[in-house]
Amino acid sequence: MPTAECRPLLPKAPCATIKTYLNRIGMLLAPVIWLVAAATAILVAGKFWWFPAPISALAVEYDRQFSLTLIVIGGIFLVAQAGLGYVIFRFRDSGRPARFSRGDNRLEVIWTAATAVLFIGLALAGETIWAGIHMQPEPAGALQVEVLAKQFSWSFRYPGPDGKFGRTDIKLINDSAGNPFGLDDKDPAARDDIMTSALRVPAGRPVVLTMQARDVIHDFFVPELRVKQDLVPGMRIPFQFQADKTGEYEIACAELCGLGHHQMRSTLRVLTPEAFRDWLADQRGLQ
Ligand SMILES: [Cu+2]
């Protein structure tokens, strides 16, 4: 005869309390945790959906630091998940009264300090890569290019044969006439400036971009370079990189900048030095 304490869930099933059934179902959480942790580790270690191939020395360095962080943090993640599953099994409800524990202050201090050292250490190691972009003096012989971002397109300006950027005036900005920078024709230095909608650079030569935004914050992002830089209205932000591998790469805006954000893209064309020289000469011929 079933009682409140002992009630089979199915006819003729062995007698068990509801509590026992719930306890057994609860045990399933442990293998689920282990499976999710193992699947996560396989997906990350297998690199099935991964970054595109790097095209600069800095990007290679970035990947090295990223992998190191992933190995250290991923190892700790796996150990923690394995321990969590074990604790679910080991300390399941076996009918005995629970024991009250005050914890262990010494252990708390040790693992909090170890976590702090680990995170600060990894952050400092990564800092040198960040500083390699932002804190270095401008390299000698760098190609200078101005970048202008606006809703929802990119424009690039190269100095002409005189090597000088001409004067611009906000009142002269005219997108439909092909003058997004507001170049002042009266300035002789402005007449030979080259404006393009794609960024062309020679491989193996440092490039310094001077970035500005005309309306809202945008973000210059080339995944193959592993770099991102915000463009902020009212600021001229220098940003340097060197691409070593020729090819075509997408420049995406990585800041949600309005309704047309998804279509705000351009192309980075890394050319051989000869091809870049020829392209520059052609542009000068068109001036
Ligand atoms: Cu944008």
Distance of CA 224 from the midpoint of ligand 1 (Å): 19
For CA atoms 40, 45, 47, 50, give the dihedral sign. Answer: positive
Assess contact for 220 and 158: CB atoms under 8 A: no
* Burial status of residue 102 (CB atoms within 10 A of its CB: 0-12, 13-18, 19 or more): exposed
pLDDT band at 8 (very low <50, low <70, confident <90, very high): low
pLDDT band at 139 (very low <50, low <70, confident <90, very high): confident
Distance of CA 14 from the midpoint of ligand 1 (Å): 65
CA distance 160 to 216: 28
Peptide bond into 152 cis (omega under 30): yes
Q: What is the pLDDT, as a whole number, of residue 14? A: 63
pLDDT above 70 (res 18): no
Distance of CA 153 from the midpoint of ligand 1 (Å): 7
Instruction: Report which of residues 273 and 170 the model is more confident about.
Output: 273
CA distance 18 to 4: 9
36 φ, ψ (degrees, to nearest 5): -65, -40
pLDDT band at 61 (very low <50, low <70, confident <90, very high): very high
Mean pLDDT of the chain: 88
Least confident of 98-107, 226-235, 256-265: 98-107
Of 74, 63, 67, 71, which is closest to residue 39 (Cα–Cα)? 74
Least confident of 115-119, 139-143, 149-153: 139-143
Distance of CA 158 from the midpoint of ligand 1 (Å): 21
pLDDT above 90 (res 1): no
The one-letter code for the residue type at 148 is L
Assess contact for 195 and 207: CB atoms under 8 A: no
pTM for this model (two decimals):
0.79
Q: What is the pLDDT, as a whole number, of residue 76? A: 93
In our burial notation (b when 16+ CB lie closer than 10 A, e otherwise), range 231-244 reads bbeeeebebbbbbe
Rg of the chain's alpha carbons, rounded to an integer? 30
Distance of CA 152 from the midpoint of ligand 1 (Å): 6
Q: What is the pLDDT, as a whole number, of residue 12? A: 64
CA distance 148 to 171: 16
Distance of CA 215 from the midpoint of ligand 1 (Å): 9
CA distance 109 to 106: 5
Q: What is the pLDDT, as a whole number, of residue 138? A: 86
pLDDT above 80 (res 105): yes
The tally of CA atoms less than 13 A away on the side-chain side of residue 14 is 3
Distance of CA 254 from the midpoint of ligand 1 (Å): 7
